[in-house]
Amino acid sequence: MIVTGHPPRNPQKSGLPGRLASTVAPVLERAEGLDEESGLRKLVAGNWKMNGLKAEGLTLARALVARAAAGDPPDCALAVFPPATLLMPVAETLRGSGIALGAQDCHAEASGAHTGDVAAPMLKDAGCAYVIVGHSERRIAHGESDAEVCAKATAARRAGLIPVLCIGESLAERERGAELEVVARQLEGSLPEGLAAGEIVVAYEPVWAIGTGRTPTAEQVGAMHAHIRRRLTAAIKAGAEAPILYGGSVKAGNARELLSVANVNGALVGGASLNAAEFWAIAQSCP
Ligand code: PGA
């Protein structure tokens, strides 16, 4: 197990750095007044995808750091996932801010002849605490199977990173009523062995909600997150303590409703995370 938990939530909002720990802190925290079902602290994570040259990425990171320092921090942990070229300069910018850094993918091997790939230990070395694995854009565009995603998540754990394991059904799968079965299969096929508490984050991202402006209803999200929680708890010892994020068209306007659903322990935000004010408003929506 790597690091053990954030400092307790402080209702007086006494400043972000003290409350959000360092860039290597996981999101696990058990305390009064957190998510009613799981007791976990929420995580709001920004997936920048393949967006941003150095000037834009650093402007965005600096804007988040400025908000973090401004004295009205959100009641959640924060992380950003810039493109690989920006990891090191963004790590520098985030230093001491309490905002964690993550990467968007890693290779399953720790090193070797894999032109163009980035290994998990390299991401750790660059300052990352997290790495996304199994995002649907990679499962679809790069044909990544559950077994490959599992190998990547295992490599991430070996390197001391927390994998953010993405799962989610397509529109066709939901329309034929197969979403619970598809998501359970992806989860069980992609989870690394022997995880302890705080060593994994799961992100439920229905493919049809990503970048489309469509979101499932609160009831649909609640049913799916309860299902994932049950399967996680059955599959791994630390299943009750793994945050389950919702992702797919999260915006400032719908964040509060989505983040209020039982077993939604945070959000993985794509497009809206490219705007500092909107991303901050999403984080501020954590109930
Ligand atoms: P979106 O992307 O917020 O732009 O829908 C979410 C994601 O893919 O993580």
* CA 210/CA 49 separation, integer angstroms: 12
Distances (CA, A) of 178 to 105, 152, 169, 182: 27, 26, 8, 6
Q: How far is the CA of 53 from the centre of ligand 1 (A)?
A: 19
Closest-lying ligand 1 atom to the alpha carbon of residue 136: 8
| pLDDT for residue 16 is more than 80 | no
Rounded to an integer, the average pLDDT of 50-63 is 98
- pLDDT per position as a tens digit, 21-31: 333 334 433 33
Q: How far is the CA of 212 from the centre of ligand 1 (A)?
A: 9
Query: For the chain, what is the mean pLDDT?
Result: 89
Beta strands in 160-214 (DSSP E): 162-167, 201-204
**Exposed e or buried b for every residue in 78-114, given b needs 16+ CB within 10 A?**
bbbbbbbebbebbbebbeebbbbbbbbbbbbeeeeee
Q: Cα 29 to chain center, whole Å?
A: 15
Closest-lying ligand 1 atom to the alpha carbon of residue 269: 3
The catalytic site residues sit at 135, 205
Residue 198 · residue 3 · CB < 8 Å = yes
Domains in the chain with CATH codes: 27-284 (3.20.20.70)
Ligand 1 pocket: which residues have CB below 6 Å?
A: 47, 205, 210-211, 247-250, 268-272
- pLDDT per position as a tens digit, 115-173: 999 999 999 999 999 999 999 999 999 999 999 999 999 999 999 999 999 999 999 99
pLDDT of residue 73: 85
- Residue the block writes with tokens 């935000």: 269
Residues in the chain: 287
Q: How far is the CA of 207 from the centre of ligand 1 (A)?
A: 9
Residue 228 · residue 182 · CB < 8 Å = no
Closest-lying ligand 1 atom to the alpha carbon of residue 250: 3
pLDDT of residue 103: 98
Q: How far is the CA of 79 from the centre of ligand 1 (A)?
A: 14
Q: Which amino acid is at 176?
A: R
DSSP annotation of 274 reads G
Q: Which residue, by CA, sits nearest to atom 9 of ligand 1?
A: 270
> How would residue 4 be classed by pLDDT, with cut points 50, 70 and 90?
very low
Q: Which residue, by CA, sits nearest to atom 7 of ligand 1?
A: 270
Distances (CA, A) of 74 to 20, 204, 282, 286: 10, 22, 9, 7
- Tokens at 38, concatenated: 């799981």
